[in-house]
Chains A and B, each alone.
Chain A
C-alpha cells in the first residue's frame, strides 16, 4: 500500500483520480466505484477478492460487512430501491458468489439497479473445478440484465463503466462483473472512459408527437378510465408527473403493489392495489373500466390472475413502458407507447384534457365505501392489521417501510397509505423471504434521517436475522417490527382455504425469544401482545434513538382479505371478515 493511498482512509471527499497511474485491477476497480459516486459497498471477503479487500483498506469507500452475502445483496438492493441509485455488492468466488443468486433474481424481477462484483479463481484455473470455482456468469445469465467476466485488466474500467450504465438506464436491473484473481492482481495504467458506447443498446426513448397524440386520443373519449400505475413510475421518477396528469385528466389511479408510493395513497383519486389481495374498489374499477392505462406496469399474473382474456373485459388497453418487450407481452393493447414514463408524461401533460369522469368517480367512491379494507377487532387480542394501522398513523405515511414476504406484506400494502415515492421496499416479483430485514439496512443507510421500519414475519425474519449484528455494529436505527403469528402465515392461509386445514409444516412455535435474540446482538428488544401494550411499546420504540426489535405477538388465525383465489377472475373476490 502506498503512503498516498493510506492517507485516503476516512477522507471526507473523493480523492483526485490520477489518470495514467499504474494500478492493480483491484485498485482500478475501487477508483471506478468512486468515479461512479458509490457511497456504500456491501460485501463479504474471501480468497478470490482479497486483492480488492486489501485495496479497500485504504480506500475512502464505506464498506458494510454483513454476516451473509444474501444480507449484503438485499441491503444493496434496499439502498437502490430507497434512492434510485445503483446498489453495489462484493462477494468472493464460488460459495460467496452463489450466495448472491437469490438477491440477483430478486432485483431482476423488480428492475432494481445493482452492480454485483464477484471474484473468481485465476484464469489459468478456470474450467479445472478449482477450489471455490463456480461459473457465476453462467449461473446468473438468466437473472441478470447483463454480466461480464473481465479477462484483461485493460478492459476493467470500461466494463465497470458499462455495468453502471446498463444497470441504471432503460429498464434498470442487476449487472454482474466477475473478476478472476489474476486480473485483480495485474497492473496497468488507469484510464476511465468518459463515454459509454454499447452498440445496439438504446435505453432512452422519448415517444414521438404522433404516439403522444394516439395515447391521449385513446383516453380522452373514455367515460370510465383508470390508470394502472406500476413500479416503472417510481423507477423513472415520474411520481409528480403522474400526480399532475391524474389531477388534470381526473382519471383515478390504481397503484400496483410495486407502484405503491408512486401516487399518494391518500389522494381522492387513489384506489390502492388491484389483484389477488387488492381492494374491492380497484378490482371493480378494472372490471368495469372502458379504458385501462398501464403506466410502467407489466400486467403480471397477481393482477390479471393469468386470465388475460377476462382481465378488464370492457376496456381498451393503453400501455406505456420503457421496455418494448412488455408491450403486448401479457395483454393485447390498443395503443402501446415504448418510452420512458416520465418523458412520456411530460410530453403529454400540456395536451392532456380533463375527462368527464364525475359519474365514474362517484361509482368508485361508493365501491370504496361499501367495501373498505377491514378486519374484526377482538378484545385483548392483537390483530396484525391493527399493528400496521398503528405504524401508519404514528408515522403519518411518511416512513420508509420494508417488508418481507407473506401475510404481513399484504397487510402493509393494504393498511399503510404510502405518501411518498420510494417508501415501500419489498420483493414484489420474486417474493423473496429474507429480503425485508437486510433491505431495511440499506434503506436506512441511504436515508439516515428518515424513520425506517422493517415489517417482517416470524418466518422470513429467521432467514436473515443474523444481520442484527450490523444494526449494532454501525448503529443503524432500523425499527424491526415482527408480526409474530408463530407460523408461516400465508402458507397457513392457503392450507386453511384450499387444503382443508391440513396444516403441514408451518409451525414456528419453537422460534427463539426474539427479545433475547435482539439483546444477544446488543440491540434493544421489546414485546407486545395486546393493543394497549402495542401502542405503548411502539411509542417507546419510535422515541428510541437506535435500533429496536419489537415482537408483536398477534393472533395466528387471521387471513388476508379480500382474496381472489388462484385460477379465478377478479369478479370472484372473497371478502372475508365483513
Chain B
C-alpha cells in the first residue's frame, strides 16, 4: 500500500479537526498520522496528514476533503520532492555511567540526550520516520521505557529537480 502525505489548510475554528477526522471515519479512510498547527497566515491552520491507499483512494480523499467548507486548500505533497520531519522523545533504561556509550549511538543521528535520571534518560530525535525507526532499533537493547512521537510535518521542497517536476 502506497503512503501519501497531504497538507490541508483549514480555518482555525473550533471543531475543524473533528470535521476532518470525522470525514476519515465516515468515508473509511485511514489516518497514519495527523498533525495540526499554526500556518503562515493568522486564522488558518495547516494539517499534515499521512495516509495509505491507491491512487483512486487518494483522489477521492482529496476531493472529499476539499468539499469541507472549512478547508481552504488541499495539497498532495508526496507527489513531489518534500521535506518531512517527525519529533520523538525516547526514555531508555540507562544509568549515568552508560552516558558515553549512548552518546556514541545518538550522535550519528544528530539526536541528543535532553534529560538524565538515576536509572533512565531521555533522548530527543528529529527526522523522517525511517530515521527515528532506525534509532529505536539501536536503543531497543537498553529497554525503551516510554516513547512519544509526533506525526510528520512536511513541506514541498523549494527547488524541484527538473526530472521530478514533470
Contact = CB atoms under 8 A, between A and B. Distances in A.
Interface of A: 137-138, 141-142, 145-146, 149, 166, 198-201, 323-325, 327-329
A325 B18 contact: no
Nearest to B15: A137
B69 A166 contact: yes
Nearest to A144: B69
Interface in B2-17: 9, 11, 14-15
Contacts of B9: 200
A401 B70 CA distance: 37
A114 to B, nearest CB: 15
A201 B64 contact: no
B71 A328 contact: no
A142 B27 CA distance: 10
B63 A201 contact: no
A484 to B, nearest CB: 38
30 contacts: A137-B15, A138-B18, A141-B19, A141-B22, A142-B22, A142-B26, A145-B69, A146-B68, A146-B69, A146-B70, A149-B14, A166-B69, A198-B69, A200-B9, A200-B66, A200-B71, A200-B72, A200-B73, A323-B67, A324-B63, A324-B66, A325-B60, A325-B63, A325-B66, A327-B63, A328-B56, A328-B59, A328-B60, A329-B60, A329-B63
Given A146-B68, A325-B60, 13 more contacts: A138-B15, A141-B15, A141-B18, A141-B19, A142-B22, A200-B69, A200-B72, A201-B69, A323-B67, A325-B64, A328-B56, A328-B60, A329-B63
A229 to B, nearest CB: 23
B23 to A, nearest CB: 8
Contacts of A138: 15, 18
A145 B19 CA distance: 11
Contacts of B66: 200, 324-325
Nearest to A141: B22
Interface string B19-45: 100100010000000000000000000
6 shortest A-B CB distances, which residue pairs?
Answer: A200-B72, A325-B63, A146-B69, A142-B26, A324-B63, A325-B64
B165 to A, nearest CB: 23
A413 B70 CA distance: 38
Contacts of B67: 323, 325
* Best-surrounded residue of B15, B26, B69, B70 (most CB of chain A within 10 A): B69
B71 to A, nearest CB: 6
A149 B15 CA distance: 10
Contacts of A141: 15, 18-19, 22
Contacts of A146: 68-70
